[in-house]
Amino acid sequence: MFENIKSKKNPIGVEFIKKGLLTDNQVDRVLQYQKEHRELKFGEIVDILDMCDKAQILETLAYKLEISPVLLDGDIEVDPVKYVPRDMIINYRAMPFDIEGNVVKVAFSDPLDVNKVKEIELLLMNAGYTMEVYLTLYTSIMKQIEKIKTVDSKFVNKEEKDVTKLIDNIIMTAIQKRASDIHVEPMEDKIRIRFRIDGELVTITELPKSRQEIIAGRLKSISNMYQEITYDQDGSINTYDNFSIRVSSQRNVNGEKFVLRLLKKNREAKNLFELGFAEDEELVERAFDKRNSIILICAPTGEGKTTTLYSAIEYLDKPEINVITIENPVERRLKGINQVEIGPNITFESSLRTVLRQDPDIVLVGEIRDEETAKIAIEAGQTGHLVLSTIHTTNAVEAITRIRKMGISDYDVSATLVTSISQRLVRRLCERCKKPHVLTDMERRYIEKVTKITGQEFDLDNAQLFEPVGCKYCNDIGYYERIALYEVLCIDDYLKDLIAEGKSTIEIRKYAVENTDYKPLVVDGVKKVLNGITTINELKRKITI
């Protein structure tokens, strides 16, 4: 269990054979499994593969290691996170399971990892406890860890004195409340903790200013930052199941501010319709199923551009094509997709040049932000590739102006840009508590103004409007999760001519509104209001008309 096995002569393997618990063939199977899972030890594999009685496995390992065994099959009498922080329990596979006086009994699946054992011993010593080490099975401790992972943290306990437990409590509460970001902000006389939930920052609690340094120290410690450095740093926390947490620190006039971005691992990409794209298969095919071209997703920061790109890749991906992405950072792992992450010495430009030598069919470029990247993307689109990327603009038509300003010729833009999609995220009404809403005179005037500007008529007589209420499910907000509003500009031949001739975006937009399926963002927004998905107030927050 605790040494890498290179032959059957390993003492642990020999012991299992001597006791008649494993055959030679079974030991061979364990060794083969270990070649594919090098992080696992011999005894852990025997346990995982359930090759013999668990009590006998534990007894054999405990005998060889001369460490007291404990099976941990039932419920634990004590609250383990009272003694050891949840992130350490998960990362070190160490479970406090009992206490006698001031002696805490801790079961390890790998008690020969001396550094981890000593670290937990020191932690307990600083809290006034001594530690007894026990050996338990890998599967037993993982079952216990699953129980503590599902602890319901509904609020931050600002009275918690132990900083390790306080930070853990803040992170677990953020996960519970579906936060995308945690802001730890030093103010003049306090520390403010805010969560970003469905795009909105909400103040969760405030902590005493006197705790500022110790909180900063703990955040740096668990995110692998330098303790002595007080200027800008980046780090990461990877001890929370299913979450990768990016950490950024920046010094302001009141001290160091930290922002933790919570990224859920292995989250499946939603299809385009689930995101809010119009349920029109023909439009989706016309917008995305292209070759020798560029497709751009346009929106300000934080409006879900990357999520739409991932969904588009899921739609386009087939076994017979080679898809490569260049991202900063890779926010979600996609099965069957070659993903490249930008690093300190790796730029979008250099990566894109290399990717084009990797025989791609489709290339996803996280963002076009400068002339060099734009030129290489244009070149890729003109040489047989489909390029998908994002760009910061206010609407789909303005993407043309943005690329022009990067130094790309009108001809090259018209020859490669085939689809420009703009989007905004608005909050969805909570399905469990929303209630019917009668259109007010102010809301009616707003919709009439949209009709006047866009020429789009709306059926107000058959509308089903709702308003937010608030319940336990949505944290008394009235909204739960977000949905995207879209406008899709598919570039037809006449539009290509207008772009090539250097026509203004005003002329391009006028033609698109009058002669194509293009509808401004606000039109999709009003439709979603009239279908009871969101509210006029949400549209006003995100869209100016």
User: What is the DSSP code (8-state) at residue 267?
Assistant: P
C-alpha–C-alpha distance, residues 115 and 411, integer Å: 63
- Stretch 524-535: mean pLDDT: 96
Strand 190-197 to strand 181-186: parallel, antiparallel, or no bridges (unpaired)?
A: antiparallel
C-alpha–C-alpha distance, residues 466 and 160, integer Å: 41
C-alpha atoms less than 13 angstroms from C-alpha of 373 in its C-beta half-sphere: 21
Which pLDDT value is given to residue 2? 35
First to last CA, the chain: 66
Q: In what order do the strands lie in the sheet with 200-208?
A: 200-208, 190-197, 181-186, 255-264, 243-252, 233-240
3-state helix, strand, coil in the chain (%, to 5): 40, 25, 40
Which pLDDT value is given to residue 149? 58
pTM score: 0.70
C-alpha–C-alpha distance, residues 16 and 35, integer Å: 19
Of 19 and 124, more confident = 124
- Stretch 304-315: mean pLDDT: 89
Note the pLDDT tens digit of each residue in 378-423.
Answer: 988 888 899 999 999 999 999 999 999 999 999 999 999 999 999 9
CA distances from 349 to 266, 295, 355, 377 (A): 28, 18, 10, 9
* List of residues 6+ apart from 477 with CB closer than 8 A: 197, 198, 430, 468, 470
Query: What's the length of the chain?
Result: 545
Cβ pair 532, 429 in contact under 8 A: yes
* Angle (nearest 5°) at CA 345 between 341 and 346: 40
Of 530 and 273, more confident = 530
Tokens of 6: 């290179």
Cis peptide before 329 (omega within 30 of 0): yes
